[in-house]
Structure 1
Amino acid sequence: MITDPLFYAAAVPAVILLGLAKGGFSGLGALSLPLMALVVSPVQAAAITLPILIVQDVVSVWAYRHTWDRRNVVIMLLGAISGIVTGYLLAAQVSDAAVKLAVGVISVAFAVRRMIVERRATPPKPAPADVPRGIFWGWVTGFTSMVAHAGGPPFQIYVMPQRLPRDIFVGTGAILFALINWIKVPPYLALGQFTAENMTTAGALFPVAIASTWAGVLLVRRVSGQAFYTAVYVLLILVGAKLIYDGALAYL
């Protein structure tokens, strides 16, 4: 197990952000890995994070087990599986910086456009959960989750225009990413990242992971549906900007 206090000074806030994201404040989790990568390698940070995410998934899935959209999960999962496989096969050839930059630009553009459109006198009707777009954005979600740990924004880009009720939106993401995280386990095993040090370190952070996820669930349920969507748009812009910054910095 990692014993360096500096690691936990970064890891504990990172896990809290992951928990709040799992509880419903989508997007905050994208800030976690950069925090942990300040004190350990990005690869090790990702390996420590995955078991923590799986534990947090248990809490979020239980909390939203009655409020999720089956059609969206099935459609997106079909694309996500192929995206994860693609990401695993191309892990050595695909630049994390390029993926982050692209996802960041798309996320900011989408969120800004939606915020402008929805403030018109006659906002657009909710979009349907159609198969072609769902499979495409599911593939992007799986691919970016595997390669750059940035699966949240593509999921939001597909689901948010549907204007689902708050709890169904959060529950759909909880179920989908719980399944995606389990599908990512074999590739991580194949890459040899589940070492004893990484697993015991993740285990030491489980209590923080569980408590922060429940906190996220309780906080989200105190926010109205309209305020929740506005908050998610703002978070999407901030996370997109962070991804743009990370990607551009890597190139520079």
Structure 2
Amino acid sequence: MELFSLSVFAFTIPAVIFAGISKGGFGSGVAFASASILALVLDPGIALGLMLPLLMLIDASSLPAYWRKWDWPSAKVLLLGGIPGTVIGALFYAWANPDAIRLIIGVVALLFVAWQAAQKFGLIRLGRTRFGRRTGLIAGLVLGFTSFVSHAGGPAAAVYLLGQGLAKTRYQATTVLIFWAVNLFKSGFYAGMGIFTKETLLMDLALAPFAVLGTWLGIKAHHKMPESLFFAVTYVALTCTGLKLIYDVLT
């Protein structure tokens, strides 16, 4: 599909605003839905390359609002695992074909929804026992890998941070710090591997105002919008998107 077309803008503008709202106000856990949605209409590599500069802009825009409100011990252990995870993700991406990336994006989307449903029905309970350093390093490893190949590091971070029993704003600030650092680190690999292109960067310039708008809306919604409403809509979208991506690969 032609990148600079009305049909692509019809998908990208809402997706970018959604990513800003998610990362700016709701812990980044579902921001990867934007890349999942774009993978329906674009080659996965183009979708990933298009989204990363916008995600970095969202990180930079939201960081001042949460400055030094994060939990540094939790952030540090995730980042220590995230660095090698990112490198593994880069190696996998260099080997995999577009359908493999689509499959991973789709599977991660469905697993995330299943995980949330398990928590909702009490099958999994987080926050009662604090996770140790080893669990944090494993979560960071998964975070780095999934972040590189699908911008889906949020779920791994959420599992570990929710297990730490952090307050709402402290949790949000910690995710902002983590993904600001991880996205900055992986951007060097994206540039060196040719995932960024002239076309995606020009598209990013056109979409940048929508990323900032989404971030502003997310910061405001963090204090006013019921989380249950935001996530309910997101889970439906992720389920439909994940199923469609897997169906496309299998057929």
Q: TM-score range by the shorter chain?
A: 0.7 to 0.9
Q: How does 1:137-156 map to 2 (within 5 A)?
A: 137-156=139-158
Contact in 1 for aligned 2:110/2:243 (Cα 8 Å): no
TM-score normalised by the chain length of structure 1: 0.85
Contact in 1 for aligned 2:127/2:162 (Cα 8 Å): no
Aligned residue for 2:75?
73
Contact in 2 for aligned 1:83/1:140 (Cα 8 Å): yes
Letter in 1 for 2:108: V
Deviation for aligned residue 1:162:
2.5
Aligned residue for 1:189?
191
Aligned residue for 2:66?
64
Q: Give the unaligned 5+ runs of structure 2.
A: none
Q: How does 1:205-244 map to 2 (within 5 A)?
A: 205-223=207-225, 228=227, 230=228, 234=232, 237-238=235-236, 241-242=239-240, 244=242
SS of residue matched to 2:200: helix
Letter in 1 for 2:9: Y
Q: Distance in 2 between matches of 1:173 and 1:124?
A: 17
1:107 aligns with 2:112: yes
CA RMSD of aligned residues (A): 2.8
Which moved further from structure 2: 71-80 or 125-134? Answer: 125-134
1:117 aligns with 2:117: no
Aligned residue for 1:16?
17
Deviation for aligned residue 1:105:
5.1
Letter in 2 for 1:195: T
Deviation for aligned residue 1:125:
5.4
Q: Distance in 2 between matches of 1:125 and 1:147?
A: 28
Distance 1:236 1:77, change over 3 A: farther
Give identity over the alignment, percent. Answer: 29
Aligned residue for 1:4?
5
Deviation for aligned residue 1:179:
0.6
Aligned residue for 1:48?
50
TM-score normalised by the chain length of structure 2: 0.85
Contact in 1 for aligned 2:48/2:150 (Cα 8 Å): no
* Matched length: 245
Contact in 1 for aligned 2:32/2:150 (Cα 8 Å): no
Deviation for aligned residue 1:66:
3.1
Distance 1:125 1:77, change over 3 A: closer
Correspondent of 1:88 among 82, 87, 90: 90
Q: Distance in 2 between matches of 1:49 and 1:236?
A: 18
Deviation for aligned residue 1:15:
0.7
